[in-house]
Amino acid sequence: MAKVLIINPVVREEDVPRHIPYGEAMLAAIAIQQGHQVAVYDANAWRQPISKVADACKADDWDAICIGGLTTTYNCIKQCCKIIKATSPKSVLIAGGGFLTSMPQEIMEFIPEIDIGIVGEAFNSFPTVLKQIDEHDLDWTGTRGIIYRDGHFPILNDAVVLVNNLDNLPHPAWHLFPLEEVYLKNSSSLYSEDAYHAKRRIDINGSFGCSLVCRYCWHLGTTGDMRIEPNNGQNEVVFSFGRDIRYHSPDYIIDMVTVLKKKYKIDFANFLDENLMTMHTASGKKWLFEICEAWEKAGLVPVRGKSGTDQPGIYWSGTSHASLYTTDLLDAMYEAGCTHLVYGLESFDPKILKKLGKGTNRANNIRSVIETMQSGIIPVPNIIIGFPEETFDSIRNTISALVELGIHAKPHFATAYPGSEWYYNYKQSIIDQYDGSLETYIEDLGDATKITGTISHNFTGVELLGLQEIVATRNLRLLDQYEAAHAPRSALVLPQPSINFRASKH
């Protein structure tokens, strides 16, 4: 069988490595299940000089070397690909994940070392590619879900069929990653008291997809909103509002958590799901109740106020939605050990929320914070500024809500990540901001905590930096002063239609 090396690129250099790469761990498990020999070099965990990638590549005669991640890992991935091809030129270099799926042709141009790109969900296409490599069959013309090179010209094949029953997937290959040496040491987080005291946290994933149509979100390109369609004789990725909602059964989730408890003695599990409440709603409002009940039956409910390795149960956390939760569900989740929920509130301005596609409003946002607190679960609000429609009034509406709730939030900046509706609408304006270089923009992208390409019609990047501080300090006096001095002007950026995005479900 094939010898496979998976390289995990560095994520968020400004922070310690906190999260085992779930997708890579799943693909490693699938490859092992097929009989392949799999090893991992976790550059994010070890944080060694990038040259150490060469040592991993030289460690064996790898048939395939694989690397992937979100767009925010692009810089590291590009450096790694150069090293991989220089040190192991005979290995098939496979890339995948969000950074490639959102713009496959461009990435194949930017990183000429890549041989095969996995476009979209890799659970079916990745093992197919490995099987072909093992059989020395390098004819990729009929392999779905990939982009490959015909000479130097990239060819994008038809989309792969998604996995329908997620319970058929194996548990992630956690053992290939440095749990004791790195990840478990960084278990603590500041989201809640129980999360802060966590000693042995491992993330899990219960679902794929989200029914919402937020303009900034891409859904990772794996949840049914991606299509491959011809355009002037060449295939293109096309994203839409189509959604394929899939989730593991409560039995699968409990079995996975039980294994983690028994094998790694975890005391905390964080759900990585895009939005737990959208899955719950899609299930007929049964899924989370069933998980809570199964959590209790399995003896996983933690003893409140107790933490550490002698904690008999497992605390947990995840994501929520301001219009989809119910108070009885929050109560059940709290009783089952849920400690905090991240709410993508984004704004408290009615006009922005109406256009954003989140399916919520100002009143729901405010009520969600209050009622979640009352349940005993800590709500973690995410706030954004710099929306295309952002105005002084919208900023003021967000600040007034924060004051009303008695909370502080340092907002992120509205960022047009590749694959999102914002990206395709404002792609040309963003390229103009980077002197005509799309790749320079991709290299500049981070986790929306810094200014990159602005998409606000009314505020420059410099102005948004000042407004971020005004929101963080809830300083309405400074906001009023700035508005009084602000001169009217024409729109700074303009949206344009794109063949890569369709505002429909098909």
* Sign of the alpha-carbon dihedral angle for 443, 160, 211, 241: positive
Check pLDDT > 90 for residue 391.
yes
Residue 11 in domain: yes
Segments of 162-249 assigned E as strands: 201-204, 207-208, 226-231, 234-240, 246-247
pLDDT (0 to 100) of residue 30: 98
Whole-number Å distance between alpha carbons of 359 and 455: 22
The pLDDT of 361-381, averaged and rounded, is 97
Whole-number Å distance between alpha carbons of 196 and 44: 22
pLDDT (0 to 100) of residue 494: 81
Question: Residue 300: in which H helix or E strand, if any?
Answer: none
Whole-number Å distance between alpha carbons of 339 and 352: 30
Whole-number Å distance between alpha carbons of 365 and 401: 9
pLDDT (0 to 100) of residue 506: 56
Considering only 26-40, 142-156, 203-217, 466-480, which range has the smallest mean pLDDT?
203-217
The pLDDT of 52-76, averaged and rounded, is 96
Residue 418 in domain: no
Q: What are the tens digits of pLDDT across the range 86-140? A: 999 999 999 999 999 999 999 999 999 999 999 999 999 999 999 999 999 999 9
Query: Which residue is it, tokens 């986790």?
Result: 447
Question: Residue 154: in which H helix or E strand, if any?
Answer: strand 153-156
User: Phi/psi class of residue 59: alpha, beta or left (left: φ > 0; alpha: ψ in -120 to 50)?
Assistant: alpha
Considering only 13-22, 37-46, 218-227, which range has the smallest mean pLDDT?
218-227
DSSP character for 396? H
Question: pLDDT higher for 73 or 217?
Answer: 73
Residue 470 in domain: no
Whole-number Å distance between alpha carbons of 398 and 380: 15
pLDDT (0 to 100) of residue 225: 75
Confidence of residue 304 (pLDDT cuts 50, 70, 90): confident
Residue 79 in domain: yes
What global pTM score does this model have? 0.94
Check pLDDT > 90 for residue 15.
no
Q: What are the tens digits of pLDDT across the range 174-216? A: 999 999 999 999 999 999 999 999 999 999 999 998 888 888 8
Tokens of 474: 């809830």
Q: What are the tens digits of pLDDT across the range 479-503? A: 999 999 988 888 888 888 887 877 6
pLDDT (0 to 100) of residue 237: 87
Question: pLDDT higher for 359 or 500?
Answer: 359
pLDDT (0 to 100) of residue 308: 64
Yes or no: say if 458 and 390 are a contact pair by the CB < 8 Å rule.
yes
Q: What are the tens digits of pLDDT across the range 146-164? A: 999 998 899 999 999 999 9
- Supply the range of the domain harboring residue 22: 3-161
pLDDT (0 to 100) of residue 224: 60
Q: How would you class 79 by CB atoms within 10 Å of its CB: exposed for 0-12, middle for 13-18, buried for 19 or more?
A: middle
Share of the chain above pLDDT 70, in %: 97
pLDDT (0 to 100) of residue 489: 82
- Provide the β-strand partners of residue 42: 8
pLDDT (0 to 100) of residue 12: 85
pLDDT (0 to 100) of residue 216: 87
Residue 499 in domain: no
Total domains present in the chain: 1
CATH value at residue 126: 3.40.50.280
Q: In whole angstroms, what separates CA 484 from the centre of its chain?
A: 39
